[in-house]
Amino acid sequence: MTRAELLRKLAAQLDWPDLQESTRLDDDARWDSVAQLDILMLLQRDHAMSVSAQELQESATMADVLDLVLANES
Amino acid sequence: MRTAVIQGIDHYLPEERLTNAELSALYPGWTADKILEKTGILERRIAADTECASDLAVRAADRLLERLDVDRSRIDLLVFCTQSPDHFLPTTACLIQERLGLGTNVAAFDYNLGCSAFPYGLAIVRGLIDAGIASTALLLMADTYSKFIHPLDKSVRTLFGDAASAVLITAEERAAPSIGPFVLGTDGTGAGNLIVPAGAMRHPLATADLAEKTDKSDNTRTAANLFMNGPAIFEFTVKRVPALIRDVVAAAEISLDDVDLVILHQASEMLLATLQGSLRIPDEKFVRHYSRCGNTVSSTIPIALQSVIDAGRVARGDVLLVAGFGVGYSWGANLIRWEPNA
């Protein structure tokens, strides 16, 4: 899965059309525990992948999230 | 061999209902449909201000004992699970013994677990019955988490409901154990992810603990309220529970295909859907029962089990797999061969 594909998939899951790699998460109200749960569920359901909830919660930007997921993929 | 056998199950839900429409009015951006989509829950039952865990448990036990026409003088063991006891002391089981009119020969005690309560309770009762220490047991579970929850914390208020459940277990002669094998486990590193921080001895309640704080997800709570780190609980569950299921069927030297019904702790639709998918359990074997009561913590599994029994989905001799997991972290699973006397 490429970074661009993953970003599109996460944006669709979160219903967040303007989501970009540069999007800051730590000051966006949309980045709440439900959004984080949505990502964890998507990764488990579609990719049988489990990432660290703590690292996900500590991600400052969407680029950090993509790094975290792709590191777990490899 | 002498062994513990489940004879029947019943439950009680408090009268008050909390609907998604009521919740959506409190939480901007959360529609009733969104709450249903995320949780799978239509409504939760909420204990009245004056209604405690013992009140719910007595109602559930009375229903069960009357339905099965049990002679109360035969009961010699009362095991009660709650995380919302009537008092710090005495143990709530003593209050329940008196209110149910049980004899003073009854061994009665509480244990404190949440979502893993049912397998642990079955393990305790089976141990005492199989050892010849007790012969007729009431296993009761009741929780009133609503009393811990801040009204403006949607992360928990949308999920949890109050309830009690009751199980009658007796000593019988069977060719093999009817309940078990068991796999039980604990990982206290997760304790802080589902907790009421203040109010007990480690952190006695002080005025400052009643100050409300609103987190980044726009959930408000005090230190005396229930806190749940949902993503951390999800991570724990999807890592731990599939292994737990595999371990318990391996301990029984069977495969998951040999199990007739799988009844997991009814946590939320997101968790159950994920676990069902990762374990590849077909719909006809996977029990869901939470839409009208929510996550009732210690009672989810017995309530779900009663629902499939009442619906005629359980036949004599069926093998049921039950698994509970959550607060602690604590987890447990066991098999039940359904073979009551009647």
pLDDT per residue as tens digits for the range B206-236: 999 999 999 888 899 999 999 999 999 999 9
Extract the tokens encoding B253: 């030297």
Residue pair B221/B213 in contact (Cβ under 8 Å)? The answer is yes
Q: Report the C-alpha gap between B288 and A39 in whole angstroms.
A: 23
Quick one: average pLDDT of A15-23?
A: 92
Q: Report the C-alpha gap between B124 and B83 in whole angstroms.
A: 17
pLDDT at A34 over 90: no
List beta partners, residue B135.
none
pTM attached to this predicted model: 0.95
Which residue in A29, A34, A54 is closest to B232 by CB distance? A54
Q: Active-site residue numbers of B? A: 115, 265, 295
Residue pair B272/B288 in contact (Cβ under 8 Å)? The answer is yes
> Residue B142: what residue type?
A
Q: Which DSSP symbol is given to B329?
A: T
pLDDT of the residue at B35 = 92
Extract the tokens encoding B306: 């009663």
Residue pair B51/B14 in contact (Cβ under 8 Å)? The answer is yes
Extract the tokens encoding B5: 């056998």
B179-337, superfamily in CATH? Thiolase/Chalcone synthase (3.40.47.10)
Which residue in A32, A41, A51 is closest to B216 by CB distance? A32
pLDDT of the residue at A29 = 82
List beta partners, residue B3.
B172
End-to-end CA distance of chain B: 19
CA atoms within a 13 Å half-sphere pointing along the CA-CB vector of B95: 17
Residue stretches of chain B with pLDDT short of 70: none
**A45 to B217: CB separation less than 8 angstroms, yes or no:** no
**A37 to B238: CB separation less than 8 angstroms, yes or no:** no
Q: Which residues of chain A make contact with B231, given a CB cutoff of 8 A?
A: 33, 36-37, 40, 53, 56-57
Q: Report the C-alpha gap between B293 and B196 in whole angstroms.
A: 22
Helix B300-310 and helix B117-130, axial crossing angle in degrees, nearest 10: 80
- In tens, the pLDDT along A37-48 reads 999 999 998 888
A29 touches chain B (CB under 8 A): yes
**B231 to A29: CB separation less than 8 angstroms, yes or no:** no
Give the three-class secondary structure for A12. Answer: helix
Q: Report the C-alpha gap between B35 and B58 in whole angstroms.
A: 32
For A36, which residue in chain B has the nearest alpha carbon? B231
Q: Report the C-alpha gap between B285 and B264 in whole angstroms.
A: 11
Sign of CA pseudo-dihedral B243, B36, B298, B85 = positive
Residue pair B233/B326 in contact (Cβ under 8 Å)? The answer is yes
**B238 to A29: CB separation less than 8 angstroms, yes or no:** no
DSSP letters, B88-147, are SSS-HHHHHHHHTT--TT-EEEEE--STTHHHHHHHHHHHHHHTTS-SEEEEEEEE-GGG
Residue pair A69/A2 in contact (Cβ under 8 Å)? The answer is no
The closest alpha carbon to A55, from A42, A73, A38, A40, belongs to A40
Q: Where in chain B is the domain with CATH 3.40.47.10?
A: 2-173, 179-337
Query: Which residues does B66 contact at the CB level (< 8 Å), separation at least 6?
Result: none
- In tens, the pLDDT along B112-162 reads 999 999 999 999 999 999 999 999 999 999 999 999 999 999 999 999 999
Q: How far is CA B26 from the centre of its chain?
A: 27
pLDDT band at A74 (very low <50, low <70, confident <90, very high): low
**A40 to B238: CB separation less than 8 angstroms, yes or no:** yes
Q: Report the C-alpha gap between B323 and B336 in whole angstroms.
A: 11
- A-B CB pairs within 8 A amount to 52
Q: Report the C-alpha gap between B301 and B309 in whole angstroms.
A: 12
A52 touches chain B (CB under 8 A): yes
In this structure, which CATH number among 3.30.70.270, 3.40.50.1820, 3.40.47.10, 3.40.640.10 belongs to the domain B2-173? 3.40.47.10
A41 touches chain B (CB under 8 A): yes
Q: Give ipTM to 2 decimals.
A: 0.89
